[in-house]
Structure 1
Amino acid sequence: MTKPSLAHSATIQNAVDAAKQYYDGTADDIYRTIWGNSIHLGLFEREDEALPSAMQRAKDTMIDGIVLHPKSKVLEVGCGYGTLARQLSRKFDCPVLATNISDKQLTHGKELTEAEGLSDKVRFEQADFHKLPYPDNSFEVYWSQESFLHAADRAQVLKEAHRVLEPFGLLVFSEVTLRRSTPLALREHILKRIKTPAMWSKYEYEVHLKEQGFQVEKWEDWSENVARTYSWTLKQLERKQNQLIPTIGEEAFEQAHSGMQLWKQAADDGYLGWVHVIAAATQND
């Protein structure tokens, strides 16, 4: 097996450090003020629907695609504050290992989980999805919601997902995509907002899932919801301006505002998309 080069390893570590700094910085205040305890895109039924109910619909829809039992072992990467992990544990009475690289999110997730009396089922650990510290065939389900966009090497992330899954275990994820024809200047601005080196298109996910040994069982295009999500969050950000600026500062507020505007416009123009995928880890030859 070819070992990654030092330069490649450094690129991955830089991306991990940037994502950690982002989520442990002012982004945490913004997300908790605007999004609450769940920081994802929403699956909307109406134009005027609030994001919290749309986010819950996205989770419910993804969960409806799987069946678990009390002995199922579930791994979530990029777990945020553990909202999904707690919902899975309540619904299926199964253990969930929720992982993240953000200290703030892990700490708050543990607090929320303890308050709900679920600490015996939902466990939190710091882990980088590029190199998971778990044995082969450890989990029945690997779950991710909009966390792959922070990866420096998505092929490596999918390879690790396949490794830690049992044969025919399920990879369940939703992810933001970036159209391959996106103009370079716009692409750079989009990536700068979340401090990530690259993003994949829908086509790239299809190709790499197959290359890494996954058979897609469900593929849904939820792209029309990206602009709706950022339209809602922009309005909330503007409404809560006087609450946020004393906490994060005017410069951070303006950066967040311009970044959300950029993403909303890019979604309106069809460059940003969103997919929901369930894929089975086929056995390696």
Structure 2
Amino acid sequence: MAGRRALLTTSPEPPFSLQTLHVGVYEDPDELISVASARTVTRMAEVAGVGPGTRVLDLGAGYGGAARRLAAGHGAAVHCLNLSPVENARNERMTREQGLDEQVTVTTGSYEAVPVEDSSVDLVWSQDAFLHSGDRDRVLDEVARVLRPGGQMVFTDPMAVDGLDQSSIQPILDRIALSTMGTPGFYTEGLERRGFTGVRFHDHAGQLPTHYRRVREELVAHEEELSSSISRPYLTAMKAGLQHWVDGGRAGKLTWGIVHAVRS
């Protein structure tokens, strides 16, 4: 994940869309990454019932592709919170170019210390970001704080399956520089403990290895082009890292899906 983000940030003409960096829902295992990633946004928006005026907080918003889709396609007002100033600058530029800067705002900051008032958000949204946190309990605390009563949370995240000895995915943990990954059980129990109801994990585990296989294929296809701006050793390490994600998903050690919950 971190390696893929670095590729997209450093490449002058990245082979993947800057609109969306996230795991896709593939109806055809060989379809374009951008098409599958856009489908994930559509599915999540349907689960949460996003509509005109919905106040959305997008945690770890990246380049803001989902935010712009929610604004343009659903009429939502989206506040993007993201740690990278480089990604945020591109988000703001693309948002202005699409005439959505009155609906989409961008703030540089951490989802472990969200600069948003209590009970001020209708929907907390996040895609494939929480795995990078070293304090996921703190993230859930912040989500519960900023959501209004009756507000919703919808997110995706690559996760370890419940009950896994996570030493068996050490190469993946090393790649994202963390000691553990979250699990469906961790998020379900954590949300329920904070008073959320109707917590549901929509399991799409098979999408994870498909997505990382497609990302690796695109990396290999564009390797010569990318080598002009990214070192060969780094690209080699990226290919190995992506293969670890593919192998972990195929071995049933990893899962991915849409988590939805309502704050009581």
Q: Same fold (TM over 0.5)?
A: yes
Asked if structure 1 preserves the Cα contact closer than 8 Å seen for 2:160 and 2:166, the reply is no
Q: Aligned equivalents of 1:104 and 1:23: distance in 2?
A: 15
Contact 2:248 2:254 in 1 (8 A): yes
- Counterpart among 247, 251, 256 of residue 233 in structure 2: 251
Q: Deviations over 1:128-162 (max 9, x none)?
A: 11111111101011100111101111111011001
Q: TM-score under structure 2 normalisation? A: 0.92
Structure 2 match to 1:50? 32
Query: Which position in structure 2 is the counterpart of 1:221?
Result: 203
CA shift, 1:50, in A, is: 2.3
Deviation at 1:26, TM superposition (A): 4.8
Match of 1:123 in 2: 105
Contact 1:72 1:94 in 2 (8 A): yes
* 1:195 shift after superposition: 2.3
Task: Please list, as runs of the form range in 1=range in 2, the aligned pairs for 1:86-235 lying within 5 A after superposition.
Answer: 86-235=68-217
1:230 CA drift (Å) = 1.0
C-alpha change, 1:24 and 1:102, in structure 2 (3 Å) is farther
After TM superposition, the structure 1 = structure 2 runs for residues 63-78 of structure 1, keeping only pairs within 5 Å, are: 63-78=45-60
Paired residue for 1:275, among 254, 257, 260?
257
Using the TM superposition, name which of 215-224 and 251-260 deviates more.
215-224
Paired letter, 2:248: A
Out of 120-129 and 207-216, give the one that drifted further: 207-216
Distance in 1 between residues matched to 2:130 and 2:74, nearest whole Å = 25
Distance 2:64 2:12 in 1: 14
- Contact 1:34–1:233 (CA under 8 A) maintained in structure 2: no
- 2:198–2:261 contact (8 Å) kept in structure 1: yes
Deviations 1:194-252 (A, max 9, x none): 22332112222221111122113543101000110011111111111111112111121
Q: Secondary structure at the match of 1:238?
A: helix
Partner of 1:35 in structure 2? Answer: 16
Query: 1:60/1:25 Cα in 2 relative to 1: closer, same or farther (>3 Å)?
Result: closer
For 1:151-202, what per-residue CA distance to the aligned partner results, in whole angstroms no more than 9, with x for missing partners? 1111110110010000010001111111245455432211121223321122
Paired residue type of 1:79? A
Change (3 A) 1:223 1:68: closer
Deviation at 1:54, TM superposition (A): 1.1
Q: For 1:5-44, what aligned pairs fall within 5 Å after superposition?
A: 25-26=6-7, 28-29=9-10, 33-37=14-18, 38-44=20-26
Per the TM alignment, residue 83 of structure 1 is displaced from its structure 2 partner at its CA by 0.7
The percent identity for this pair of structures is 26
Q: In the comparison of the two structures, how many residue pairs are matched?
A: 262
* CA distance in structure 1 between the partners assigned to 2:65 and 2:211 by the alignment: 18
